[in-house]
Structure 1
Amino acid sequence: MASHDHHAGHHHDHASHAQGHHHGHDHSHGHAHAPANFGKVFAIGISLNTALVVAEAVYGYIANSTALLADAGHNLSDVLGLVVAWGASVASKRAPSGRFTYGLRASTILSALANAVFLLVATGAIGWEAILRLREPQPIAGVTVMVVAGIGILINGATAMLFARGRKDDINIEGAFLHMAGDAAVSLGVVVSAALIIWTGWLWLDPVTSLAICATILWSTTSLLRSSIDMSMAAAPKGTDLDAIRAFLLNRPGVSAIHDLHVWPISTTETALTCHLVMPGGAAGDAFLMETAQLLKTSFRIGHTTLQVETGADNGCALAPDDVV
Structure 2
Amino acid sequence: MAHDHAHDHDGHSHAGHDHSGHDHSGHDHSGHDHSGHDHSHSHSHSHGIGGHHHGPVDTGDWRYAVGLILNLAFVACEFGAGIWAGSTALMADAGHNLSDVLGLAMAGGAAWLARRAAGPKRTYGYGKATVLAALGNALLLIFACGAIAFEAVRRLAEPAPVASGVIMVVAGIGFFINLGTALLFMKDQHKDLNVRGAYLHMMADAAVSLGVVIAGAVILLTGWAVIDALVSLAIVVVIMLGTWGLLKDSVNLALDAAPNGVEVDQVRAAFLALPGVSAVHDLHIWGLSTTDTALTAHLVHDRADADALLAEAQGVARSRFDISHTTFQLESGALPDCPTC
In the alignment, structure 2 segments of 5+ residues that lack a partner are: 1-26
Q: Which has the higher contact order (CA 8 A, sep 6+)?
A: 1
The letter of the residue matching 1:309 is L
User: 1:191 aligned to 2:191?
Assistant: no
Which residue of 2 is the match for residue 71 of structure 1? 93
Identity of aligned residues (%): 48
Which residue of 2 is the match for residue 134 of structure 1? 156
RMSD of Structure 2 on Structure 1 (CA): 1.8
Q: Distance in 2 between matches of 1:304 and 1:229?
A: 21
Identify which range, 189-198 or 242-251, moves more after superposition. Answer: 242-251
Q: Distance in 2 between matches of 1:260 and 1:171?
A: 27
Which residue of 1 is the match for residue 74 of structure 2? 52
Q: CA deviation at 1:6?
A: 7.5
Residue 260 of structure 2: SS of its match in structure 1? coil
Q: CA deviation at 1:295?
A: 2.3
Q: Distance in 1 between matches of 2:277 and 2:146?
A: 54
> CA 1:134–1:218 in 2, change beyond 3 Å: closer, same or farther?
same
How do 1:175-214 and structure 2 match up within 5 A?
A: 175-214=197-236
In the alignment, structure 1 segments of 5+ residues that lack a partner are: none
Residue 97 of structure 1: SS of its match in structure 2? coil
TM-score (norm 1): 0.91
Q: Distance in 2 between matches of 1:25 and 1:154?
A: 42
TM-score (norm 2): 0.87
Q: Distance in 2 between matches of 1:60 and 1:144?
A: 9
Which residue of 1 is the match for residue 135 of structure 2? 113
Aligned residues: 312
Q: CA deviation at 1:99?
A: 2.1
**CA displacement, residues 297-318 of structure 1 (integer Å, 9 cap, x when unaligned):** 11111111110001125x9x52
User: 1:146 aligned to 2:164?
Assistant: no
**CA displacement, residues 153-194 of structure 1 (integer Å, 9 cap, x when unaligned):** 001011111111111111111100000000000000100001
Q: Distance in 2 between matches of 1:70 and 1:205?
A: 15
Q: Is the 8 A contact 2:279 2:300 kept in 1?
A: yes
> CA 1:303–1:6 in 2, change beyond 3 Å: closer, same or farther?
closer
Which residue of 2 is the match for residue 33 of structure 1? 56
User: 1:300 aligned to 2:339?
Assistant: no
Q: Distance in 2 between matches of 1:78 and 1:28?
A: 30
The letter of the residue matching 1:307 is F
User: 1:24 aligned to 2:44?
Assistant: yes
**CA displacement, residues 226-257 of structure 1 (integer Å, 9 cap, x when unaligned):** 11111111111111122221111011122111
Q: Distance in 2 between matches of 1:27 and 1:88?
A: 19
Q: Distance in 2 between matches of 1:91 and 1:29?
A: 23
- As a proportion of its length, which structure holds more helix? 1
Q: Is the 8 A contact 1:32 1:270 kept in 2?
A: no
